[in-house]
Homo-oligomer: A and B are copies of this chain.
Amino acid sequence: MNLLESLLEVVGPKGLVGADDAEPLLTDWRGRYHGAARAIVRPADTAQLAGVMKLCAAHGISVVPQGGNTGLVGGATPSEAGDAILLSLARMVRVREVDTRNDTITVEAGCTLQQIQTLAASVDRLFPLSLASEGSCQIGGNISTNAGGTAVLRYGNMRALVLGLEVVLPDGRIWDGLRGLRKDNTGYDMKQLFIGAEGTLGVVTAAVLKLFPALRSRATAWVALASADAAIDLLARCRAACGDALTSFELMSRSQLDIVYQQVADTRDPLDGTSPWALLIELADSSHDAPLQAMLEDVIGAALEDGTALDAALPANETQAAALWHIRHIVSEANVRFGTSVTHDISLPISQIPGCLAQTERRLSEAGLIEGAQCLYVGHVGDGNIHSIVIFPHHVWARVEDRDARAAKIGTIVNDTAVQFGGSISAEHGIGQAHRGELEHYKSDVELDIMRAVKHALDPDRRMNPGKLL
């Protein structure tokens, strides 16, 4: 039997994707990476998937796991060599258990994030992970990339939401680590290795996830600020005054806001539109009648009084609040219309954000890299995560000579400065194939050695998602 026949025997005809349907799976959704595969396999369950992995091990074939294919760093796109199997989790969508008394659900890796959010809501619970691609990204991919999003400030990254995992190892053995335990100190916590490993150590096939009380009251505010420094001050005061109710704390620069208002017809500034920075703050609570509005008015009132805040708008109803969130959510779309963005996904100690952004912009300017461009900032300040964007109007970008080199030089300054301020070059998007070189450049030899030792321990033949991460 040749490989395809053997695969067919394991997964059946439904488990093999034909050439007609292959294209979207071989290209990342932004169209930046394109690859080829020896076969595209879509097993129905863990046993089939393990069978595929055993076959690949026996034949020495590499495996590229793929979830919803919504990543930004090419982590789920195979190389152009076409010598690997693309392993799609899309058919593994069973909900294995809902345990409301343990506040957990056990789901297979192919469930979309939105399915899981909906499932949680149906039993009066919250699954808090939330990100732009939630309608199509899969939970296995969220786990393998340690996804972030807009609720990390309160609930943590994906890593904090996983209690147990089922993983198929490179040799095809199944590790059943599907424990629904909040405390378990019996040796190394092996699930931590697979979370955020981008499929380079094994394939996550199922997970036990934590559920939280549903949120029943909310309060939102838009605050105008003179500086990023003022945002950090206000963050500290909100944390002290509002505690765990503080759910979102999103910062946007005036440069970013102006592009939104210019490009998106139904948006307008809730204040006079002159402040250099604006914050979108949200509090939420599981009780119906938490005094969130009063809490928020108090803390913002004090900030207005002592000059930390310049102005503020507290929406009177949900429609007004939704209009504020619309401004935040439409940022990427507005930027695409306006021009070409060179984007970065840095994180910093929160205290270092103002200094790092100022220094970055100074260096970019001194290097003559941003003539005719603008620096935009939008980010989850509460997590220290800033999307630092250099945007060129289309007509300016069209005249730039050697655009790839320009983007690379900008990236080097942004990342160098972030690292000098104690930051990370990839806060939530991961490494994939996009940032491998940078990983080698910025990580210490000691840390790279530990990572390589772990990779070698679990995947000695380097068959798992080759060309990604390490």
Contact = CB atoms under 8 A, between A and B. Distances in A.
Contact of A184 (B169, B214, B427, B435): B427
A45 interface: no
A411 to B, nearest CB: 14
Interface stretch (A27-35, A274-282, A418-426): A418-426
B145 A185 contact: yes
Nearest to A156: B160
A430 interface: yes
A360 B213 CA distance: 31
B239 A176 contact: no
A451 B190 contact: yes
A386 B201 CA distance: 34
Contacts of A447: 175, 177, 187, 190
Given A243-B285, A458-B453, A347 B193 contact: no
A181 B243 contact: no
Interface stretch (A98-106, A250-258, A302-310): A98-106
A157 interface: yes
A437 to B, nearest CB: 12
Interface string A210-251: 000110000000000000000010001001111111000000
A155 B33 CA distance: 40
A356 B423 CA distance: 46
A349 B102 contact: yes
Among A152, A195, A236, A383: residue with most chain B CB under 10 A = A236
A189 B181 contact: no
Interface in A254-274: none
A185 B349 contact: no
Contacts of A196: 185, 187-189
Nearest 6 Cβ contacts at the A-B interface: A244-B244, A101-B351, A192-B192, A243-B286, A457-B457, A183-B427
15 contacts: A146-B185, A146-B189, A157-B182, A179-B422, A185-B424, A186-B439, A187-B431, A188-B196, A192-B193, A193-B193, A242-B286, A242-B287, A243-B287, A244-B244, A457-B457
Given A175-B446, A183-B385, A244-B286, 11 more contacts: A101-B232, A103-B236, A148-B183, A181-B347, A181-B349, A182-B383, A184-B427, A185-B427, A190-B450, A192-B192, A213-B239
